[in-house]
Structure 1
């Protein structure tokens, strides 16, 4: 489950004027788009479902762990949002972030724009010179910000994972959402940093979610874990406005690509970090246990401060960061890398 609640704030902003510092994809007036038809979700098909859908809410999300030939490490996040509402132009937003291990620095940027609907049957999304395009999971990603630039090609090593077994998850009265992931992508390309431009390789993760759901308030914790033995885990818990759990679900993906839904798992915070900017108190470090697979993992953030203030684009402040993974699986040592997203901890904007 990705950004269900934070995106709703964005939906209310898509008819507003752009603010200074936010780079638009187009600078000409765009006529309102017709309302997307309220059709039920259908079984997922690939590569058709990699592309856009005429629904209220949709996003494509990438994170990954990159390394240079000399061992310099970087984490990255790149996400594109799309929202459609009657009598408004289609709204777009994007976030780009880099975790620079060597410099001990977390950097991010954001954009939003309005424009016409995306072409059906073709996966290509762009805001200015930020873009992603591809087919069947082989995608090209490009993004820039002051100090950093990234160009990557990602290639799937496993089939797409249909969460909840079908690729459709229910949020009860809020509606249904299609949701699949490509949990293990080979990544290669180059990164530009204040220290220079370097070839990089590594692994990446992609989420794609869409539907006619609505919601407000609350938040969630979300974990994307890639283990060194080739297995992956998606874990998510959604909270209401009082931080009471509403939904908890997950998926274990074997090294061979077999996906198994998870209901029994825990993620216990090991510490906390307080943002000096927003005042939010976020969990920092987690003990993750998955009894069905005899997994006990410790997740440690690469940097405590990986908070994004994206009120200029999607109206929310959240923590999204890279973490190291160490622990045991069936009594044997295992390591890896993860991305963790924490939403609903900062005061409402």
Structure 2
């Protein structure tokens, strides 16, 4: 590697780390409760447009392309993986060119088995071609990590796409296919995050079928299973007094899907919300008063006690399950540290999914 390339990469990472570290110490988890003067606002009634909304929205402060996959290997052993690309604007206003661009890109990749959890993190400054997202044909990348479609991909389903990422001791390469359109979360894609009006635009593709190769410690195995992609963008997705969230994406054995989150507040109150997605892609919102999310057991990870086992109930749907993690130590020791890992559940419904815990 040339000295020039190394110095630019180090500078890129340093700038990004400084900007992100400032936000870690700001209001709410990762600064997401910080006021958003000068940035675009999330309001009800948006008409989503694809493929345009698969691409970036630089007038908003933050957004992400977030994929998790529940897989089994050729021997039948459970495993999971995560691929996430984040974009955050350091300031509002017209987009600067080259190194003056205010967009900061960050990516996370992880693989999880019952016996191990591996992760990696990348940074980039916008405007230099090292990271970006294009809507058509879809391509999201940072360095050689990518989620990529083609001219033949369907904009409604965002399928098929390929996915790849790596770390020093792991890598994966998957093909993802779906036969149902993406699903708007919340009220037509308007996802409220507090009683005070904080919100995001939010849609998902929960119907991906995944297959490919997963390599850990130079030992490749074939894997297959289900994947879920979330797309969100906002300028202030949390209120200043919201400390973090507990989020679940669930693949039910019936073919239905369920998204649930509980946003935690400093006063001890919670803001829960959910969306039931039937096997055909139809959705029904679940109001907070009908959601019971009860931590049942904790694990001590990275000096924190984390609620990694849950009892979840939705009485109106006669739904009651117990969730357990594949690996309680699935800690993401990244710039924004959090817990993220595959889970399984049993009860009135069986299945697998992912759990994310932030702000602990």
With normalisation by structure 2, the TM-score equals: 0.78
Change (3 A) 1:39 1:274: closer
- Alpha-carbon distance in 1 for matches of 2:133, 2:210: 26
- Alpha-carbon distance in 2 for matches of 1:190, 1:90: 32
| Residue ranges of structure 2 left out of the alignment (5+ in a row) | 1-14, 22-36
8 Å Cα contact 1:158/1:183 also seen in 2: no
8 Å Cα contact 2:132/2:141 also seen in 1: no
Change (3 A) 1:157 1:293: farther
Which residue is equivalent to 1:99? 112
Name the SS for the 2:181 alignment partner: coil
- Corresponding residue to 2:163 among 137, 141, 144: 141
Pairs within 5 Å for 1:188-337: 188-194=211-217, 196-213=219-236, 215=238, 216=240, 218-245=243-270, 247-263=271-287, 264-275=290-301, 277=302, 279-311=303-335, 316-328=336-348, 334-337=349-352
Name the SS for the 1:213 alignment partner: coil
- Alpha-carbon distance in 2 for matches of 1:336, 1:204: 13
User: What do the CA deviations read for 1:281-318 (whole angstroms, capped 9, x no partner)?
Assistant: 1112111111222111110111111111112xxxx221
Pairs within 5 Å for 1:24-103: 38=40, 42-54=46-58, 55-84=60-89, 85-86=91-92, 89-101=102-114
Report the CA distance between 1:80 and its aligned residue.
0.5
- Alpha-carbon distance in 2 for matches of 1:157, 1:302: 28
With normalisation by structure 1, the TM-score equals: 0.80
- Cα-Cα RMSD: 2.6
- Alpha-carbon distance in 1 for matches of 2:268, 2:225: 35
- Alpha-carbon distance in 2 for matches of 1:43, 1:60: 19
Which residue is equivalent to 1:340? 355
Report the CA distance between 1:81 and its aligned residue.
0.1
- Alpha-carbon distance in 1 for matches of 2:214, 2:296: 32
Report the CA distance between 1:18 and its aligned residue.
10
- Alpha-carbon distance in 1 for matches of 2:38, 2:65: 18
Which residue is equivalent to 2:28? none
Aligned residue-pair number: 305
- Alpha-carbon distance in 2 for matches of 1:260, 1:233: 10
Name the SS for the 2:337 alignment partner: strand
Name the SS for the 2:186 alignment partner: helix
Which residue is equivalent to 2:201? 178
Report the CA distance between 1:73 and its aligned residue.
2.5
Between 1:131-140 and 1:254-263, the stretch displaced more is: 131-140
Name the SS for the 1:16 alignment partner: helix
